[in-house]
Structure 1
Amino acid sequence: MSDTIKLISPVDGSVYAERAALDAVAVERVVTAARTAQTGWAATPLATRIDYCLKALDALLAMNDDIVTELAWQMGRPVRYGGEKGGLAERTRYMASIAETALANIERHDRPGFKRYLKMEPLGIVMVIAPWNYPYMTAGNAIFPALMAGNVVILKHAAQTLLVGERYAAAFEKAGLPKGVFQNIVLTHEGTEALLGSGAIDHVNFTGSVAGGKAIERALAGTFATMGLELGGKDPALVRADADLDYAIANLVDGAFFNSGQCCCGIERIYVHESRYDAFVDGFVALTRDYKLGNPLDPDTTIGPMAQTRFATWVREQTEEAIRKGARAHIDLSAFPMDKAGTPYLAPQVLTNVNHQMSVMREESFGPVVGIMKVKDDAEAIQLMNDSPYGLTASIWTEDAEAAETIGHQIDTGTVFMNRCDYVDPGLVWTGVKDTGKGAALSEIGFANLTRPKSYHLRLEH
């Protein structure tokens, strides 16, 4: 009897979907189909591979009305925000636009009598293990570039967003993709580890927790498969004395609480110059109080439930610990009647009088809580921003671009933003440092991580 994966909706705790997990025999069929399809797919002209991907993208975009409602039921994002079609389209079309150049042979012409070049070869079978928080965009970051580069893809999506993998499969079927080139599978954790340890997978792209990344590394040990791991984050923001305060407040509130704070590069801690601190906190708290916590299917809801009750419980525990240690909570939960312990419905919270002895300032929250600290200068802010085991993005709010770059050089992070946050630019590599992981996605470097160089050294004269 096969295991069953159940998707429990955060909206009402009901079983929204359930699927049987593949057994070992079925997994072997998937791998065989992928390996069989890969040679022909790699030999398919690049322009044709790109065309298939863009047709699949269009098919996904055409499903968006249904997808938006499904996402609300699956992981709690309010329908008012319209899904992920904008970001998915931007990233996929950008990668399609640079594929020919990024995947072109690199030629050397400095030795007469020789033909010398590097050819970017596909890795083979790429397994994408996708998260639930941005289930279309994060999966697409790897799926589409991998296929464009000549790899075949096996997608294992998070249990919380089971239906996303099926949507991808339907889109590629509508695009006419050859059989075996893209396959969506449902697996248990044990089944996933067995597949990774089998040596059948050439590259794994995973977005998730640090613990999950370590489990994948252990499972792959000895297979020599390559990895792209985007793991935890505790992304900081610095508001300097010269910042446009209203602009910074509006964007940082959104950066902290959009998607119930369940964003890989969401803002989790803010450092404000002492001269602007009081005004910033007042404005930030006032705007936070405008949120409406409720059923994500209600178009008036601006913040829905977290994806699972245990995620909300963790954020509540972090907040309570901070308050016990002297933090001040600025949001009166009585104004958010849907916020109830033991449920995934959690109001946004703003904490001051926080410090780095509190979990909420150092350990990933991945929920709607943010701590705000006063700093006397850039040097103090840099020290605090680097006092973290993670490093995905950091944002600096200032009118001085030169200062932002100078500060950025000193921050241990994958991306430095100025006057922006919580955004993935497909023209720039998406990567992290420290416990945030290894590898890279998007841009030309993303293609490089989904291929291997093969050298050609041809003597023309002898």
Structure 2
Amino acid sequence: MKLKSVNPFTGEVNAEFDTLSDEACRQAVLRSREAFKKWRKLSVSDRVKPVAKLASILRQKKREYGRITTVEMGKPIRDAMGEVEKCALLCDYYHQNAEKFLAGEAIDTGAAKSYVAFEPLGVIFGIMPWNFPFWQVARWAVPTLAAGNVCLLKHASNVPITAIEIEKIFREAGFPEHVFQTLLIDSKGAERLIDQDVVDGVSLTGSVAAGSKVAELAGKNLKKVVLELGGSDPFMVLEDADLDRAALAAVRSRMANAGQSCIAAKRLIVKESVSEAFREKFVDVLNGIKIGDPMDEATDLGPVARQEFLETLDKQLEDALKKGARVYRGPEPPNQGYFFQPVILTGLTEEMRVWKEEVFGPIATLITVRSEEEMIRIANETEFGLGAAIWTRDIRAGERLAGEIDAGFVAINGMVKSDPRLPFGGVKKSGFGRELSHFGLKEFVNIKTVVING
């Protein structure tokens, strides 16, 4: 089988790669296990030295790496370079804090000495998505390596150039050979790895279906797993909200990365008294964005990553319109490339697909509610629980409302966005476990208790 990289703007094939044979994959795993024996023995301060170099390389070459992202999955170059810069910030954070976070914790038990140590698990297998192809890998790999583990990466099949380049970056930064390896394998190859006694933990960012399969295999083989899955985030606008700020944030959140983000504002839930005014402001902002060539630094909205995604979006939109939804359209897209015209839908009902499903593209949905109770019910009426946003001038009311929402992250008067300093993850079918902050650093460690009785 071949992995094909296709430019979503031109439709041209960037490159094709053969997948690894089972034997080549087995040898890569053996190399990882050998590398782990030495890597785990280094002090945390020694393990994070190459993390500082990694940050420097990312900053120096962010245009080069941003361009790879743009030609492989269509992200506008300005945003792609911003993603690389964010990876550098993450490296700064763990370079500065990993040693402190992984220090042993003394606990008074009455024994001569009692403490907790944080030790690495071993070979951690990361299955990463295409929508943030540098960031998703960095936020998994950097803390995992700092904790003393080694990493095997199976990246999304449509970004193989990125996957290969990322391994080169880790080597250039000074990480020892085989501490970080990219495996060009398909989903079946990934399943075989998890189903064998060769990796010690799995981190997946992807669909609910993929997460369910990984959890099944990991559970059968008693492997630690972290899952960051889908989202259908509510963006709640109360009567006293600053509608101008809220509309601007809603468009940015929903349309960023062509709507291909798990934490996008997918459901705009607005109090009836301000719903029409908010919708008008949203449409005005929407029609002010630039859609076009993702290599143009002025472009706000590029193509979706793959042609088949257009078919899914078309069917979701068609279903809503057939069942009575009203559509307000944004700027016209170019004639070439995998573009989907951005829209906002109103007049939604519960039998529509866009009400029940995650919409992974530039389709915003606006739901009008009459009461706060109805707002909370609809916000939680989803199988997902990743993020949520609340807009109100009454901060105390916003905090109270945040306590009612089933989500791993709530932003008040802002967008949901990941930050190296804050834990990131969800509840319900959005997954379990956390990435980032000191919580993410300790996902793949053995929390070892040591008691000395004299």
For the 8 Å contact 1:263–1:422, the answer to whether it is kept is no
1:266 counterpart = 2:264: yes
1:87 counterpart = 2:86: yes
> Aligned with 1:412: secondary structure?
coil
Shift of 1:268: 0.5
Spell out, residue by residue over 1:362-392, the C-alpha distance to the aligned partner (whole angstroms, 9 max, x if none). Answer: 2111100011111112111000000101010
Report what 1:452 is aligned to: 446
**Mean alpha-carbon deviation: is it higher for 169-178 or for 81-90?**
81-90
Q: Say if 1:160 and 1:35 are closer, same or farther in 2 by CA, change over 3 A.
A: same
> Aligned with 1:275: secondary structure?
helix
> Aligned with 1:180: secondary structure?
coil
Shift of 1:403: 1.0
1:98 counterpart = 2:97: yes
1:172 counterpart = 2:166: no
Matches within 5 A, 1:62-77: 62-77=60-75
Q: Structure 1: give runs of 5+ residues left out of the alignment.
A: none
Q: Please give the alpha-carbon distance, in whole angstroms, between the structure 1 residues aligned to 2:6 and 2:165.
A: 18
Shift of 1:427: 2.0
State which of 36, 39, 51 in structure 1 corresponds to 2:37. Answer: 39
Q: Say if 1:223 and 1:397 are closer, same or farther in 2 by CA, change over 3 A.
A: same
Spell out, residue by residue over 1:306-325, the C-alpha distance to the aligned partner (whole angstroms, 9 max, x if none). Answer: 00111121111111111111
Report what 2:383 is aligned to: 389
State which of 340, 350, 364 in structure 1 corresponds to 2:344. Answer: 350
For the 8 Å contact 2:233–2:386, the answer to whether it is kept is yes
Q: Please give the alpha-carbon distance, in whole angstroms, between the structure 1 residues aligned to 2:225 and 2:19.
A: 24
State which of 309, 334, 340 in structure 2 corresponds to 1:338. Answer: 334
State which of 9, 12, 36 in structure 2 corresponds to 1:11. Answer: 9
Matches within 5 A, 1:229-240: 229-240=227-238
Shift of 1:303: 1.0
Size of the alignment, in residue pairs? 453
Matches within 5 A, 1:37-436: 37-83=35-81, 84-111=83-110, 113-331=111-329, 336-338=332-334, 344-436=338-430
Q: Say if 1:86 and 1:66 are closer, same or farther in 2 by CA, change over 3 A.
A: closer
> Aligned with 1:154: secondary structure?
strand
> Aligned with 1:39: secondary structure?
helix
Shift of 1:447: 1.7
Q: Please give the alpha-carbon distance, in whole angstroms, between the structure 1 residues aligned to 2:335 and 2:362.
A: 12
Q: Please give the alpha-carbon distance, in whole angstroms, between the structure 1 residues aligned to 2:416 and 2:314.
A: 23
TM-score for the superposition, normalised by structure 2? 0.96
> Aligned with 2:40: secondary structure?
helix
Q: Say if 1:96 and 1:221 are closer, same or farther in 2 by CA, change over 3 A.
A: same
Report what 1:28 is aligned to: 26
> Aligned with 1:330: secondary structure?
strand
Q: Please give the alpha-carbon distance, in whole angstroms, between the structure 2 residues aligned to 1:419 and 1:336.
A: 30
Shift of 1:153: 0.6
**Mean alpha-carbon deviation: is it higher for 132-141 or for 294-303?**
294-303
Shift of 1:292: 2.8
Q: Please give the alpha-carbon distance, in whole angstroms, between the structure 2 residues aligned to 1:96 and 1:383.
A: 42
Q: Please give the alpha-carbon distance, in whole angstroms, between the structure 1 residues aligned to 2:182 and 2:55.
A: 16
Q: Please give the alpha-carbon distance, in whole angstroms, between the structure 2 residues aligned to 1:337 and 1:258.
A: 15
Runs of 4+ residues deviating >6 angstroms: none
Spell out, residue by residue over 1:328-348, the C-alpha distance to the aligned partner (whole angstroms, 9 max, x if none). Answer: 00116xx515268xx621111
Q: Please give the alpha-carbon distance, in whole angstroms, between the structure 1 residues aligned to 2:219 and 2:387.
A: 29
For the 8 Å contact 1:395–1:418, the answer to whether it is kept is yes
For the 8 Å contact 1:395–1:417, the answer to whether it is kept is yes
Shift of 1:221: 4.0
For the 8 Å contact 1:339–1:346, the answer to whether it is kept is no
For the 8 Å contact 2:211–2:229, the answer to whether it is kept is yes
For the 8 Å contact 2:229–2:430, the answer to whether it is kept is yes
Shift of 1:136: 0.9
Letter in 1 for 2:332: F
> Aligned with 1:347: secondary structure?
coil
Shift of 1:57: 2.6
For the 8 Å contact 1:95–1:442, the answer to whether it is kept is no
For the 8 Å contact 1:78–1:297, the answer to whether it is kept is yes
Letter in 2 for 1:355: T
Letter in 2 for 1:109: D
For the 8 Å contact 2:69–2:80, the answer to whether it is kept is no
TM-score for the superposition, normalised by structure 1? 0.95
For the 8 Å contact 1:293–1:346, the answer to whether it is kept is no
Shift of 1:146: 0.3
> Aligned with 2:389: secondary structure?
strand
Shift of 1:300: 3.8
For the 8 Å contact 1:197–1:221, the answer to whether it is kept is no
Q: Please give the alpha-carbon distance, in whole angstroms, between the structure 2 residues aligned to 1:297 and 1:221.
A: 43
Q: Please give the alpha-carbon distance, in whole angstroms, between the structure 2 residues aligned to 1:210 and 1:339.
A: 33
For the 8 Å contact 1:239–1:396, the answer to whether it is kept is yes
For the 8 Å contact 2:9–2:294, the answer to whether it is kept is yes
For the 8 Å contact 1:347–1:368, the answer to whether it is kept is yes
Shift of 1:135: 0.8
Spell out, residue by residue over 1:97-137, the C-alpha distance to the aligned partner (whole angstroms, 9 max, x if none). Answer: 331222111211241x5211111110100111111001111
Shift of 1:299: 3.4
Q: Please give the alpha-carbon distance, in whole angstroms, between the structure 2 residues aligned to 1:422 and 1:310.
A: 27
For the 8 Å contact 2:203–2:225, the answer to whether it is kept is yes
Q: Please give the alpha-carbon distance, in whole angstroms, between the structure 1 residues aligned to 2:325 and 2:220.
A: 47
> Aligned with 1:17: secondary structure?
strand
